[in-house]
């Protein structure tokens, strides 16, 4: 236990950190291209926020939250997702009086007490955006196009964009009634899960994968076919907008999204080759959430990308991520005098912005060269008594293997010049 990371967490080691930087940087870049600015929020919030914001009936709130009491007796919860916190901040900081719309993006860890499997962790990373104040369908299109551009910029192909509209509260009320009537004579023969859902959240029944239930559901009315005129028009404009810019999508009447706050447009990007947890990205519109949390009535829309799944997908597509170059130079030394000289040289080089590694192990020249090679150093310099005397040394190019005598006084200038040429 002492030497084991908690279940569902994982270390990101130096060898893989470049991938993370790469993806995060790309995301920030694309977001700012659309005018989204980054927001950083606390890892924990008042438990109440998630109960209200995510929804009491959801699996997340009912059984997956990391909730604890602090020493002041407050009930706090590690965020299970990003939207609720952003909404809280939007209200608390009066963002409704900022120039509208408010466009935010974030890069967070999130926490859910879940049983692990491929692509599903208890601590996981999400990249997401939230757009407040725009109810127009073109906001939906913008957010979706941002994601597509992001995936494209990473070279990811073959993700399916699944799209649906789950209508507004009005349509859903009417639809739930319709669904209940449709199921009235069937529900007793359906699975336990469905029987529980019939009163709590009838729509979720459509999601059931049980063979038996599926046959009963074959002719069930779909929500999308029964949404109100306003919602229908909204959805049609969204699909039209996507067609206008050539973004392919599939209508999937089954996606409902597991969080209560969604309405109208919901969508996800799904992969077929990273296991059963194939949803790389999920999101949708939430026009009542801000008000529900105590803010002014404000429409909103957003999505979150699961970074672990994104990286899995990139790996499965064989996408190479450029890794950081090695140090500009390795300074090796033999003996105490030489080491002192290296110490000064290293300081000067680093002060000038040159990446420089010097020996601190007191190893043999051969061992030092091997080390320089493993680090991927561009150049290597070995300082011994002779070099201390003459203030000259031979600079070795680790790529070509060629060496050249140079004066130590000109080392920095030379390295800067060489780096520009590379």
State yes or no: residue 172 binds RNA (CB under 7 A).
Answer: no
Closer residue to RNA (CB): 137 or 278: 278
| List 140, 308, 328, 359, residue binding RNA (CB under 7 A) | 308
Which of 273, 263, 210 has the alpha carbon at shortest distance from 235? 263
Three-state SS for 341-388 is: HHHHHHHHHHHCCCCEEECCCCCCHHHHHHHHHHHCCCEEEEECHHHH
What is the rounded CA–CA span in Å between residue 182 and residue 225? 15
Residues 243-272 within binding reach of RNA (CB under 7 A): 256-259, 268
State yes or no: residue 275 binds RNA (CB under 7 A).
Answer: yes
State yes or no: residue 115 binds RNA (CB under 7 A).
Answer: yes
Residue found by looking up tokens 């990391």 in the block: 66
State yes or no: residue 340 binds RNA (CB under 7 A).
Answer: no
| List 282, 295, 299, 302, residue binding RNA (CB under 7 A) | 282
| List 24, 114, 252, 315, residue binding RNA (CB under 7 A) | 114
| List 14, 99, 401, 421, residue binding RNA (CB under 7 A) | 401
CB of 218 to RNA, least distance (A): 17
Q: Which part of the chain contacts RNA (CB under 7 A), choosing from 87-95, 107-115, 146-154, 339-347?
A: 107-115
Residue 127's region, left for phi above 0, alpha for psi from -120 to 50, else beta, is beta
Residues 138-167 within binding reach of RNA (CB under 7 A): none
| List 65, 108, 217, 383, residue binding RNA (CB under 7 A) | 383
Per the structure block, which two tokens stand in for 333? 């030394």
Q: What is the largest CA-CA distance in the chain?
A: 98
CB of 397 to RNA, least distance (A): 7
State yes or no: residue 222 binds RNA (CB under 7 A).
Answer: no
CB of 344 to RNA, least distance (A): 17
Closer residue to RNA (CB): 291 or 385: 385
State yes or no: residue 79 binds RNA (CB under 7 A).
Answer: no
State yes or no: residue 403 binds RNA (CB under 7 A).
Answer: yes
Residues 39-58 within binding reach of RNA (CB under 7 A): 58
What's the full length of the chain, in residues? 422
State yes or no: residue 276 binds RNA (CB under 7 A).
Answer: yes
CB of 374 to RNA, least distance (A): 5
State yes or no: residue 327 binds RNA (CB under 7 A).
Answer: no
What is the rounded CA–CA span in Å between residue 278 and residue 270? 5
Closer residue to RNA (CB): 170 or 385: 385
Q: What secondary structure does DSSP assign to 255-275, as a single string?
A: ---SSTT-EEEEEEEE-SSS-
What is the rounded CA–CA span in Å between residue 91 and residue 132? 11
What is the rounded CA–CA span in Å between residue 208 and residue 225? 19
| List 43, 371, 406, 416, residue binding RNA (CB under 7 A) | 371
What is the rounded CA–CA span in Å between residue 101 and residue 97? 10
State yes or no: residue 193 binds RNA (CB under 7 A).
Answer: yes
| List 33, 365, 410, 413, residue binding RNA (CB under 7 A) | 365
State yes or no: residue 130 binds RNA (CB under 7 A).
Answer: no
What is the rounded CA–CA span in Å between residue 128 and residue 106? 5
Q: Go through 334-366 and write b for each residue having 16 or more CB atoms within 10 A of its CB, e for each that does not.
A: beeebbebbeebbeebeeeebbbbbbeeeeeee
Q: Which part of the chain contacts RNA (CB under 7 A), choosing from 148-156, 170-178, 351-359, 385-393?
A: 385-393
CB of 7 to RNA, least distance (A): 4
Q: What secondary structure does DSSP assign to 70-90, as a single string?
A: -TTS-EEEE-SSSHHHHHHHH
Residues 3-32 within binding reach of RNA (CB under 7 A): 4-8
Closer residue to RNA (CB): 224 or 334: 334
Beta bridge partners of 237: none
Which of 123, 166, 117, 122 has the alpha carbon at shortest distance from 268? 166
């Amino acid at each position: 236990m002492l030497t084991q990371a908690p279940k569902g967490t994982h270390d990101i080691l130096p060898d893989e950190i470049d991938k993370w930087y790469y993806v995060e940087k790309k995301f920030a870049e694309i977001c700012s291209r659309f005018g989204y600015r980054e927001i950083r929020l606390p890892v924990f919030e008042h438990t109440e926020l998630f109960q209200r914001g995510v929804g009491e009936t959801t699996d997340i709130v009912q059984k997956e939250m990391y909730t604890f009491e602090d020493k002041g007796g407050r009930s706090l919860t590690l965020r299970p997702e990003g939207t609720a916190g952003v909404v809280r901040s939007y209200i608390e900081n009066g963002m409704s009086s900022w120039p509208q719309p408010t466009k935010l993006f974030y890069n967070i860890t999130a926490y859910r007490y879940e049983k692990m499997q491929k692509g599903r962790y208890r601590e996981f990373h999400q990249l997401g955006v939230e757009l407040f104040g725009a109810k127009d369908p073109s906001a939906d299109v913008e957010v979706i196009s941002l994601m597509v551009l992001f995936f494209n910029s990473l070279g990811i192909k073959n993700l399916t964009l699944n799209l649906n509209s789950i209508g507004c509260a009005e349509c859903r009320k009417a639809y739930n009634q319709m669904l209940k009537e449709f199921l009235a004579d069937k529900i007793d023969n359906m699975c336990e899960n469905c029987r529980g859902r019939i009163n709590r959240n009838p729509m979720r029944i459509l999601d059931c994968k049980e063979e038996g239930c599926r046959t009963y559901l074959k002719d069930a009315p779909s929500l999308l076919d029964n949404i109100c005129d306003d919602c229908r028009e909204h959805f049609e404009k969204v699909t039209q907008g996507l067609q206008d810019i050539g973004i392919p999508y599939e209508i999937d009447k089954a996606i409902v999204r597991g969080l209560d706050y969604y309405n109208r447009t919901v969508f996800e990007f799904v992969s077929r080759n990273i296991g059963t947890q194939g949803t790389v990205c999920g999101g949708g519109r939430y026009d009542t959430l801000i008000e529900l949390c105590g803010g002014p009535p404000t429409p909103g829309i957003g999505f979150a990308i699961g970074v672990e799944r994104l990286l899995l997908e990139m790996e499965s597509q064989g996408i190479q991520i450029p890794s950081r170059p090695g140090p500009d130079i390795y300074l090796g030394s033999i003996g105490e005098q030489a080491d002192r000289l290296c110490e000064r040289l290293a300081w000067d080089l680093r002060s000038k912005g040159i990446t420089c590694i010097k020996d601190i192990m007191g190893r043999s020249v051969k061992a030092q060269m091997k080390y320089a090679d493993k680090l991927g150093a561009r150049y290597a310099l070995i300082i011994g008594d002779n070099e201390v005397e003459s203030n000259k040394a031979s600079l070795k190019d680790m790529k070509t293997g060629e060496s050249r005598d140079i004066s130590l006084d000109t080392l920095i200038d030379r390295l800067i010049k060489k780096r520009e040429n590379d």
